[in-house]
Structure 1
Amino acid sequence: MSRLLVLISLLPLVTACQLGNAGVGSLPTAEPSQPTTKNTTAAPPIAQAGSRTARRTLIQVSDLPKPYASNSVSRSPRVIPQPSNARLQAPAGFKVNLFAQGLSRPRWLLSGPNGDIFLAESYDNRIRLLRDTNGDGVVDQNTVFAQGLRQPLGMAISPDNRFFYIANTDAVVRYPYQLGQSRLQGQAQTITRLPGGGYNQHWTRNLIFSPDGSKLFVSVGSQGNAAEEPLPRASIQVMNPDGSNRQTYASGLRNPVGLGFNPSTGKLFTTVNERDQLGDDLVPDYLTSVQPGGFYGWPYSYLGANPDPRLPRRAELERKAIVPDVLFQAHSAALGLTFYGGEQFPAEYRGDAFVAFRGSWNRSEGTGYKVVRVAFNAQGQPEGGYEDFLTGWLVNPSVPSVWGRPVGLTVSSDGALLVTDEPGGKIWRVTYVP
Structure 2
Amino acid sequence: MRAWFSLLLVVLSLPAAAAPPLDRLSLPKGFHVALYSGQVPDARELALGTGGTVFVGSSGAGKVYALTDSNGDGVADRVRVVASGLRDPIGVAFHDGDLYVSAVSRILRLRDIERHLDAPPTPEPVTDKLPTEGHHGGKFLAFGPDGKLYVPIGAPCNICDPAPDHGKLIRMNADGSGWEDVALGIRNTVGFDWQPGSRRLWFTDNGRDLMGDDVPSDELNEIRRTGQHFGYPYCHQGDVPDPEFGRGRHCQDYTPPVLKLGAHVASLGMRFYTGRQFPASYRGAILIAEHGSWNRTKKSGYRVMTVRLDGSKVRSYEPLITGFEQNERAWGRPVDVQPLPDGSVLVSDDLAGAVYRVTYRP
Same fold (TM over 0.5): yes
Using the TM superposition, give the Cα deviation of residue 143 of structure 1 relative to its aligned residue in structure 2, in angstroms. Answer: 0.9
The TM-score with structure 2 as length reference comes to 0.89
Amino acid at match of 1:184: P
Shift of 1:386: 1.0
Aligned partner of residue 221 in structure 2, secondary structure: strand
Please say if residues 262 and 268 of structure 1, whose CA atoms lie closer than 8 Å, have aligned partners that are also in contact.
yes
Contact 2:106 2:128 (8 Å CA) reproduced:
yes
Q: Which residue of 1 aligns with 2:14?
A: none
One-letter code aligned to 2:353: G
Letter of the 2:62 counterpart? N
- Residue 138 (structure 2) aligns with: 204
Tell me the number of residue pairs that the alignment of Structure 1 and Structure 2 aligns: 343
Which residue of the partner structure matches residue 416 of structure 1? 344
1:85/1:92 CA distance change after superposition, 3 Å:
closer
Structure 1 stretches lacking a partner, 5+ long: 1-80
Instruction: Determine helix, strand or coil for the equivalent of 2:202.
Output: strand
1:393 aligned onto 2:327: no
> What is the identity percentage for the equivalent residue pairs of Structure 1 and Structure 2?
36
Contact 1:198 1:224 in 2 (8 A): no
Q: Distance in 1 between matches of 2:169 and 2:22?
A: 42
Q: For the structure 1 residues 175 and 134, does the alpha-carbon distance in structure 2 shift closer, same or farther, using more than 3 Å as the test?
A: closer
Pairing of 1:373-392 with structure 2 (within 5 A) = 373-377=306-310, 379=311, 381-392=312-323
Letter in 1 for 2:236: Y
Aligned CA distance change for structure 1 residues 203 and 178 (closer, same or farther; 3 Å): closer
- Distance (whole Å) between structure 1 residues aligned to residue 91 and residue 21 of structure 2: 34
Q: Spell out, residue by residue over 1:171-229, the C-alpha distance to the aligned partner (whole angstroms, 9 max, x if none).
A: 22223225443153145123352113343xx122112111141x221111111111111
The Cα shift of 1:344 comes to 1.6
CA 1:194–1:410: 2 relative to 1, 3 Å: same
Aligned residues of 1:198 and 1:222 also touching (Cα < 8 A): no
Q: 1:287 to 1:180 in 2, by over 3 A?
A: farther
1:362–1:384 Cα change, 3 Å: farther
Residue correspondence of structure 1 range 13-412 to structure 2 within 5 A: 87-158=24-95, 160-161=96-97, 163-177=98-112, 179-182=114-117, 183-186=119-122, 188-199=124-135, 202-213=136-147, 215-291=148-224, 292-311=226-245, 313-315=247-249, 318-377=251-310, 379=311, 381-396=312-327, 400-412=328-340
Look up the SS of the partner of 2:299 in the other structure. Answer: coil
CA deviation after TM superposition for structure 1 residue 414, in Å: 2.1
Alpha-carbon separation, structure 2, partners of 1:187 and 1:308: 41
CA distance in 2, matches of 1:241, 1:328: 32
- Larger RCO (alpha carbons 8 Å, 6+ apart): 1
CA contact (8 A) 2:63 2:89 kept: yes
SS of equivalent to 1:108:
strand
Aligned partner of 1:23 in structure 2 is none
Structure 1 residues 105 and 186: alpha-carbon distance in aligned structure 2, compared to 1, 3 A threshold: closer
CA–CA distance in 2 between the matches of 1:178 and 1:401? 39
* Distance in 2 (alpha carbons) for counterparts of 1:120 and 1:353: 21
Which amino acid in structure 1 is aligned with residue 279 of structure 2? P
Work out the CA distance in 1 between the residues paired with 2:83 and 2:189: 25
| Partner Cα distance (2:39, 2:338) in 1 | 19
Q: Which moved more, 1:117-126 or 1:332-341?
A: 117-126
Secondary structure, aligned partner of 2:116: coil
1:14 alignment counterpart: none
For the aligned residue pairs, the C-alpha RMSD in angstroms reads 2.0
Alpha-carbon contact 2:309-2:316 (below 8 Å) kept: no
Whole-Å Cα distance in 2 between the matches of residues 241 and 302 of structure 1? 33
Asked if the contact 2:201/2:222 (under 8 Å) is kept, the reply is yes
In structure 1, distance between residues paired with 2:175 and 2:167: 22
**1:187 and 1:121, CA in 2 relative to 1: closer, same or farther beyond 3 A?**
closer
Displacement, 1:382?
4.0
Distance 2:306 2:77 in 1: 29
Q: Quote the offset at 1:320 in angstroms.
A: 2.0
CA-CA distance at 1:83 after TM superposition: 9.5
Structure 2 CA distance for partners of 1:360 and 1:208, relative to 1, 3 Å: same
Instruction: Check whether the contact 1:109–1:119 (CA below 8 A) recurs between aligned residues.
Output: yes
